Amino acid sequence: MELTIVVVVVVVALTFDYTNGFHDAANAIATSVSTRALTPRIALAMAAVMNFVGAFLGQEIANTVASVITIPDPETTSAAVHGLVIVLAGLLGAIAWNLITWYFGLPSSSSHALIGGLVGAALAGGATVKWDVIVQKVVIPMIASPLFGFAAAFVLMVAIMWIFRRSNPGRTNRGFRVAQTLSAAAMALGHGLQDAQKTMGVIFLALVTGGFYAQSDGLPLWVIFSAAAAISLGTYAGGWRIMRTLGRRIIDLDPPRGFASETVAAGVLYTTAFAFEAPISTTHTITSAVMGAGATKRFSAVRWGVAKSIIMAWILTFPMAGLVGAAGYGIAHVVFEVAP
């Protein structure tokens, strides 16, 4: 029974990773596509490759995600199955919220959907939630990273406008279209670094819960490779609904603003991953950076009505994914005949 549920959890986790890829494909390439710096297919292929590479750059985020809930060491088969059902229910909650927001074209956070789903399932199943980790590694970065992304992109764009104030606009735009190839690649690399590791963390949590690995063991290579491959394939499939929202509906971007947005967002992803080991939302970061760079035209240039609906999706993600995770646990513990 344990092996069967572990296999199911791994398959569902990789399915989540795939939905994360197509849900968040827009994060890396929407600005480059909307400014015509890259064609959609070239942009998607580049993002998929960089996502795959980024997944191998570290394990800090995976360790953080694996530590947000604590499932007691399984002393019996039923206890191990119960712990695995909690992990499975959390994943289902995250997938459900990803699909809902993808359908409506809202760039919500797959990261917070995953953690919210795990927390909801853990609370329903009687597992321990590490609230200190949630606050320090999730909640504070969730608030700080979009604010910093907005401010930093605004400042960088002001600097670009001042530096190139006497340049030929056409030549400047052509130059920034070339530069966007690099900034989009950096953003895609950061997305792989952040988001593929979150799935690795969940798979490792399931393997430890099932008794196949110890918490002190390192991540198996097959876990890293499979997570990297799943998110890359999802990215190449593309999230066109969200791409339209991020690339056009918030503001009509030009190449310099696209470059500023991607550069700032990529910098935030690397800093939070390596310096703080915080699983932040790539969606929140790039969206706020787009708003910040766009606001340098004038604040009214940003379509704040669209931004408001996006922010509401951000706020709802953690609790809604948690509710779905709790409901998923309620169904799963009946199906697998387990109890706390």
Summarize pLDDT for 187-242 with one digit per residue, the tens. 989 989 998 999 999 999 999 888 888 888 889 999 999 999 999 998 888 655 55
Q: With a cut of 70, say whether residue 47 has pLDDT above it.
A: yes
Residue 239: its pLDDT value, please? 58
Q: What is the pLDDT confidence band of residue 247, given thresholds at 50, 70 and 90?
A: very low
* Domain edges within the chain: 2-332
Average pLDDT for 256-276:
93
Nearest Cα residue to 109 out of 308, 272, 324, 318: 318
128-129 and 69-70 beta bridge pairing = antiparallel
The pLDDT value given to residue 44:
81
Which one-letter DSSP state was computed for residue 298? -
Higher-scoring residue by pLDDT: 237, 6? 6
Phi and psi torsions of 69, nearest 5°: -130, 150
Residue 328 has pLDDT above 80, yes or no: yes
Residues contacting 267, CB < 8 A, separation 6+: 152
Q: What is the pTM of this model?
A: 0.86
Which parts of the chain fold into alpha helices (H)?
2-34, 40-54, 60-66, 77-103, 110-125, 131-133, 140-163, 169-191, 197-209, 221-237, 240-244, 255-275, 282-294, 304-335
Of 48-52, 240-244, 289-293, the poorest mean pLDDT is in 240-244
Q: What is the pLDDT of residue 252?
A: 64
The Cα–Cα gap between 245 and 310 comes to 9
The predicted-structure confidence for 126-141, as pLDDT tens digits, reads as follows: 889 999 999 999 889 9
Chain centroid to Cα 141, Å, comes to 13
Considering 197-211, 286-300, 302-316, the range whose residues carry the highest mean pLDDT is 197-211
Query: What whole-number percentage of the chain has pLDDT above 70?
Result: 86
pLDDT in tens, 143-187: 899 899 999 999 999 999 999 999 998 999 999 999 998 998 999
What pLDDT sits at residue 103? 78
Confidence band (pLDDT; 50, 70, 90) for 300? low
DSSP of 34-68, one letter per residue? HTTSS-HHHHHHHHHHHHHHHTTS-SHHHHHHHTS
